[in-house]
Structure 1
Amino acid sequence: MDLSRSQAGAARMAHVMAIPYPGRGHINPMMNFCKLLVSNTTDVLVTFVVTEEWLGFIGSEPKPDAVQFASIPNVIPSERARAENFPMFIEAVMTKMEAPVEQLLDRHELPVTTILADTYLFWAVRIGNKRKIQVGSFWTMSVSVFSVFHHFDLLAQNNHFPVDLAERGDELVDYIPGLPPTRLVDLPTFFEGKGRATLNRALECFSWMPKAQYIIFTTFYKLEARAVDALKAELPLPIYTVGPLIPYMELKAKSSLSASRNDRPDYVRWLDSQPEASVLYISLGSFLSVSSDQMEELTAGVRSSGVRFLWVSRDSDSWVKDGFCGDRGRVVPWCDQLKVLNHSAVGGFWTHCGLNSTLEAVFAGVPMLAFPIFWDQIPNCKQVEQDWKIGWRVKKSRDELVPRQAIAEIVQRFMDLDSEDGKAIRKMASELQQACGQAILNGGSSHSDINAFIGDISKKIMC
């Protein structure tokens, strides 16, 4: 689609400049939201802004014509190295991207009417305020984690920050509006290490958040209704829950395509040959990874469990030994995760509990073995096990090295479909799956909020 339309037509269009935080877990949900926006109306155009490196990664991926890419120079460290010095990467994102985005705005022929920016890109709110462009603050973690940061001052007031988690980690936080009682050790990892080093930057983002005009959450209302309601009662900004922002629209298209062509990948054909709900799908995310010692225990435990597994790992060459998989497993460098989770052979998901993966499991109705590593994955794990009751926590403490015997035992119990515990989490997962499906139907909470957001950003143009 040519974004330089006639001035008469352009004057009626909402032109959204979408600026994701440069990481896969942030880019994907924002792109999915942009696709939903343009699929619900012909009156929205999107310019999706990424670095030149990220354009190389995703520029050839399919998207609607109404979504166009624009790039800024590689002013931040490479995606391939960001885990090596995460605080330095964060600092670059906070300080180096603003100027080239401003230059992009100056060069754009079609005026931008709304900026949709990741909440972590606080400078986008500053740009919007300065240029009188409305800004939607786009939060890619759970509503509960948003609320923790928004109410961070309450932690200090209640003598819960700073603290030594080894001594006081089991103390309960029961004063954050909309949040069920939560142990300090189950909050994001901002008490120490890399998390503590980046905390002030995260809090700076939340000091700018109220200066935006909209807040968009990537979850769906029923998943975190109490936290959403508490924020709506407190904040004067419109709040939209538009998730799950996972590629569920593409899932249907791919399914029909696969039905008409026998071109399914090997791992899907392998899943086709497995009994129903017998396979444990294992993925530890695309960013941070576990220690080499823990990986050794994990591989040994999974293998000795005797459970069927599909394991996705980009660096499997470093740990997969000859004969590891046998007839009961497969290791692949990449897979279509949502398609795998929706396959009838998959009965469980070993996950790091990033929100996108968690939402995909909820959508598919698959229970989880939670193995969080960093930041928001920790409270997501707590929600999976205690609040939603759709999974089990593998590690009992953050720094614990889980031995292979314990891994084998929990995997066997988890994949036992006849056990009472297994039946209970699968029943809850099925109920949450239904609520998720209802949210995205016409008239559902997420579908309605997407249309409300479109209406609100369009009204401002007509005024």
Structure 2
Amino acid sequence: MVQQRRRQHFLVVSLPAQGNINPALQLAKNLSRSGGGGGAAVTFATTISGHRKMFPSGSPPEGPVSFLPYSDGYDGGFDPVTGDTEGYMAQIKVVGYETLGGATRSLAAQGRPVTCIIYTLLLPWAADLAQELGVPSVLFWIQPATVFGVYYHYFHGFDGLISSHRDDPSCPVELPGMPRLRIRDLPSFMATPAAAQYAFVLTSFEEMFRTLDREVVENEKNNKKKKKKKIKVLVNSFEELEKEQLAAVETMELIPVGPLLPSAYTDGKNHEDTTFGGDLLKPDAKETYVEWLNGKEDRSVVYVSFGSFTVLPVPQREEISRALAESRRPFLWVVRGGREGAEAAAAAEKGKLVEWCSQVEVLSHRAVGCFVTHCGWNSTVESLLCGVPTVGLPQWTDQPTNARLAETEWGVGVRAEVNAGGLLEAAELRRCIELVMKDDGEIRRNGEAWSRRAREAVKEGGSSDRNLMAFVDSLEMAQCPTQLDLE
């Protein structure tokens, strides 16, 4: 008798950080449309404090994705700026494992057993939970494949080489399968003289890669007589963007399923899917900035934002303010942590300051001509898909690598140079803005070309769409169907 394939139930687990939640939630939406028939069941899990920020009114809206908050031991919220981040990571490992495990068992008791756990960065305990539950787990890498490769090689024999050259930012670093990089281009946790203060972060990354290595060993042991299969890692990138880097780690299959953006900005078919749906920060009313953008000429506006985490010091805001005022171009500036230092630019009456906004909506607006950015990966792929050239001012984590890729590998932006004190001066920012704002410049042409490729990748039948469908199919084929459809 032919048994019916059971319906997949994915549990997508994320840290309560905007850079994690946005792509993970969009992946959850895309998974809910996969698997044929009625699609896969998907439950999105983040911490209680993150869940409350996402849905301040109480219950989440009805939709294809269910939501499951778990405790990290800080249900009132955790401030990574003032709090003990090392202690937090230790706490979430214990409390998160326990509370998410209990919630997952409750789902099974309700007739909705989880069949696969997908987890974002720095949550390797989710893989341990999956092993305990007897279901597969898959890492969702929310940074570029290049950064995955850099971390992999760092923890597999290159840590000494990199650590011994931290004092020389221009020192070249050649890693297998990676583009030519310098020390300054590597993730900040491993590459700066102050990297020691982030030792606990590197420890968390190392634990995550040890978990992957353990899965490689188990996979090889279980498939001795079969064709060797690689363990799978989902990546928020696309084949055309990082083809060589995606194939650089022989024991792992990096599966590009991005760029993960709301479908209204990719294929344009679902006009209701305009937001990620997981804002931790309350955005300004859209009318305050969208209507303002509507009144500006095409490609005339300089958009400035450094993400949800970074708060620039006042001297840096003053330099940016001076550059914007002197550029005499209209600008939209997301100012976090107070507006001191930004008043001069606002006084020029050509710009608008906001506390937070829907970034993908801004970048897709016809009036935006360039993006001054910290080069977080979400911001980078959003600007790529929207074809907006960038001026990079990377701050930490993967941002230096992203800035390097945007400038030298894809030719869609420039990295602004800071002075000896680490300050980006107004004159340098002005120079970079004028360079990328040229309508007939190579940077803009490259941006338009990559925009077309990114949209092709995520549309129905595109490379990323096919990859996600094949991933779901591979899980279904690997699991013995012991029951009928879950619902």
TM-score class, shorter-chain normalisation, is: 0.7 to 0.9
Match of 2:13 among 4, 11, 19: 19
1:34 maps to 28
- Please list the CA deviations of residues 235-283 of structure 1 after superposition, one character each: whole Å capped at 9, or x if unmatched: 1x443210001223367455899xxxxx961311111111111101110
1:102 maps to 101
Q: TM-score, normalised by structure 1?
A: 0.87
1:4 maps to none
1:163 aligns with 2:164: yes
Q: Following superposition of structure 1 onto structure 2, how do residues 68-217 of structure 1 map, counting pairs within 5 Å?
A: 68-76=66-74, 81-85=79-83, 86-108=85-107, 109=110, 110-153=112-155, 156=158, 159-166=160-167, 168-174=168-174, 176-191=175-190, 192-212=195-215, 213-217=231-235
1:333 maps to 355
The CA distance in 1 between the partners of 2:67 and 2:415, in whole Å, is 40
* Matching residue's letter, 1:374: W
Cα distance change, pair 354–397 in 1 and its aligned pair in 2 (3 A): farther
The CA distance in 2 between the partners of 1:316 and 1:442, in whole Å, is 42
The CA distance in 1 between the partners of 2:207 and 2:237, in whole Å, is 23
| Conserved? CA contact 1:361–1:368, under 8 Å | yes
| Conserved? CA contact 2:155–2:206, under 8 Å | no
The CA distance in 2 between the partners of 1:148 and 1:424, in whole Å, is 29
1:459 aligns with 2:477: yes
- Secondary structure at the aligned position of 1:81 is classed as coil
Match of 2:258 among 220, 231, 243: 243
- Secondary structure at the aligned position of 1:151 is classed as helix
Match of 1:221 among 224, 231, 239: 239
* Matching residue's letter, 2:176: P
Q: TM-score, normalised by structure 2?
A: 0.83
The CA distance in 2 between the partners of 1:206 and 1:256, in whole Å, is 34
The CA distance in 2 between the partners of 1:412 and 1:255, in whole Å, is 36
Cα distance change, pair 74–129 in 1 and its aligned pair in 2 (3 A): closer
Match of 2:450 among 410, 432, 438: 432
The CA distance in 2 between the partners of 1:280 and 1:323, in whole Å, is 12
- Secondary structure at the aligned position of 1:285 is classed as coil
Give the CA deviation at 1:51: 1.4
Cα distance change, pair 78–12 in 1 and its aligned pair in 2 (3 A): same
| Conserved? CA contact 2:346–2:353, under 8 Å | no
2:463 maps to 445
- Please list the CA deviations of residues 291-348 of structure 1 after superposition, one character each: whole Å capped at 9, or x if unmatched: 2221221112221221211112243444443772543111112221111111111110
| Conserved? CA contact 2:438–2:444, under 8 Å | no
The CA distance in 2 between the partners of 1:379 and 1:400, in whole Å, is 17
The CA distance in 1 between the partners of 2:245 and 2:435, in whole Å, is 32
| Conserved? CA contact 2:321–2:343, under 8 Å | no
Aligned-residue sequence identity (percent) comes to 26
Cα distance change, pair 447–256 in 1 and its aligned pair in 2 (3 A): closer
- Secondary structure at the aligned position of 2:431 is classed as helix
Q: Count the aligned residue pairs.
A: 440
Cα distance change, pair 227–256 in 1 and its aligned pair in 2 (3 A): closer
- Secondary structure at the aligned position of 1:178 is classed as coil
Cα distance change, pair 131–211 in 1 and its aligned pair in 2 (3 A): farther
- Please list the CA deviations of residues 198-246 of structure 1 after superposition, one character each: whole Å capped at 9, or x if unmatched: 2122111111024455310011111111101223xx01x4432100012
- Please list the CA deviations of residues 130-174 of structure 1 after superposition, one character each: whole Å capped at 9, or x if unmatched: 2221111111111111111111145647x52322533x3222111
* Matching residue's letter, 2:327: S
1:51 aligns with 2:47: yes
Give the CA deviation at 1:363: 0.4
Cα distance change, pair 119–321 in 1 and its aligned pair in 2 (3 A): closer
| Conserved? CA contact 1:77–1:92, under 8 Å | no
- Secondary structure at the aligned position of 2:30 is classed as helix
* Matching residue's letter, 1:219: S
Cα distance change, pair 63–37 in 1 and its aligned pair in 2 (3 A): farther
The CA distance in 2 between the partners of 1:28 and 1:63, in whole Å, is 16
- Secondary structure at the aligned position of 1:16 is classed as strand
The CA distance in 2 between the partners of 1:13 and 1:437, in whole Å, is 29
Structure having the higher helix fraction is: 1
Aligned alpha-carbon RMSD (Å): 2.7
- Secondary structure at the aligned position of 2:188 is classed as coil
- Secondary structure at the aligned position of 1:350 is classed as strand
The CA distance in 2 between the partners of 1:256 and 1:123, in whole Å, is 32
- Secondary structure at the aligned position of 1:190 is classed as helix
- Secondary structure at the aligned position of 2:370 is classed as strand
The CA distance in 1 between the partners of 2:144 and 2:210, in whole Å, is 18
Cα distance change, pair 223–64 in 1 and its aligned pair in 2 (3 A): farther
2:382 maps to 360
The CA distance in 2 between the partners of 1:62 and 1:429, in whole Å, is 36
Match of 2:312 among 277, 286, 290: 290
* Matching residue's letter, 2:92: V
1:393 maps to 415
Cα distance change, pair 305–90 in 1 and its aligned pair in 2 (3 A): farther
Match of 1:312 among 334, 353, 356: 334
Q: Following superposition of structure 1 onto structure 2, how do residues 386-425 of structure 1 map, counting pairs within 5 Å?
A: 386-396=408-418, 400-417=422-439, 423-425=441-443
- Secondary structure at the aligned position of 2:333 is classed as strand
Gaps of 5+ in 2: 216-230, 275-284, 482-487
The CA distance in 1 between the partners of 2:344 and 2:301, in whole Å, is 21
* Matching residue's letter, 1:284: F
Q: Following superposition of structure 1 onto structure 2, how do residues 366-381 of structure 1 map, counting pairs within 5 Å?
A: 366-381=388-403
* Matching residue's letter, 1:14: Q
- Please list the CA deviations of residues 45-98 of structure 1 after superposition, one character each: whole Å capped at 9, or x if unmatched: 112112111111223697663311111224148656113344443343344321
